[in-house]
A and B are shown apart, each in its own frame.
Chain A
Amino acid sequence: EPEVTQTPSHQVTQMGQEVILRCVPISNHLYFYWYRQILGQKVEFLVSFYNNEISEKSEIFDDQFSVERPDGSNFTLKIRSTKLEDSAMYFCASSDPSLAFPYEQYFGPGTRLTVT
């Protein structure tokens, strides 16, 4: 069964450094998403991406964050200058709205980001 994959599974970085989290969505899906979960808190929506542009973003998704689909398979989340509060589990998801409503989102296993 097709699945969303994410790399790396765990990333440790120093405050102020740039990180790129990578995701490979399911191949025929058209919508892509990033969510994050700070330890012990809710899974929060960050951004959705369709047709090579951001379709929606949350208040969390400020200028420090960017997303890109650099080729036909990868979908990346970049954090330009990491802060301690960026430490969280980051989930990538994809969906295919051509399927029947509701539009299920398929999630990857997550990347745990630790900022020291």
Chain B
Amino acid sequence: GDSVTQMEGPVTLSEEAFLTINCTYTATGYPSLFWYVQYPGEGLQLLLKATKADDKGSNKGFEATYRKETTSFHLEKGSVQVSDSAVYFCALQGYNFNKFYFGSGTKLNVKP
């Protein structure tokens, strides 16, 4: 069945460091891929998305490229800020748009 695996956290970085959070997926067909972010005390917010192979989703300096050959959708940011501290979830929406498959989340701590 469809599933998502993402790197475990927490990830601790200094401000302005480069961020990569790995995400790989298993799915039949051509899923859509998402990154959601959860700030403390808030809901899951869509960060970016990609609907087909080689698409690049981007938002707020974050990027992720849909790689079908490696079944990956890694999240990157060139220079993190303290305000990026949050939990990041990779998710997949398959042929059944009724549900998402999520990874377990990766907590990012950015220190000044």
Interface of A toward B, CB cutoff 8 Å: 3-4, 6, 31, 33, 35, 37, 40-45, 48, 55-56, 58, 91, 93, 97, 101-110
Contacts and interface: CB of A to CB of B under 8 A. Distances in A.
B42 interface: yes
A107 B99 CA distance: 12
B41 A56 contact: no
Nearest to A48: B98
A47 B97 CA distance: 13
A4 B43 contact: yes
Interface string B81-112: 00000000101010011111111110000000
Interface of B: 4, 32, 34, 36, 41-46, 49, 51, 89, 91, 93, 96-105
A33 B59 CA distance: 25
Contacts, number: 66
B49 A102 contact: yes
Given A43-B89, A43-B105, A105 B100 contact: yes
A104 B50 CA distance: 11
Contacts of B99: 33, 45, 48, 56, 58
Contact of B32 (A3, A102, A108): A102
Interchain residue pairs A-B with the least CB separation, the first 4: A43-B102, A107-B44, A102-B32, A45-B99
Contacts of B43: 3-4, 6, 91, 106-110
Nearest to A6: B43
Given A102-B93, A109-B41, A45 B49 contact: no
B100 A45 contact: yes
B56 to A, nearest CB: 15
Nearest to B50: A102
A18 B4 CA distance: 32
Contact of A103 (B41, B45, B97, B101): B97
Contacts of B42: 109
A30 to B, nearest CB: 12
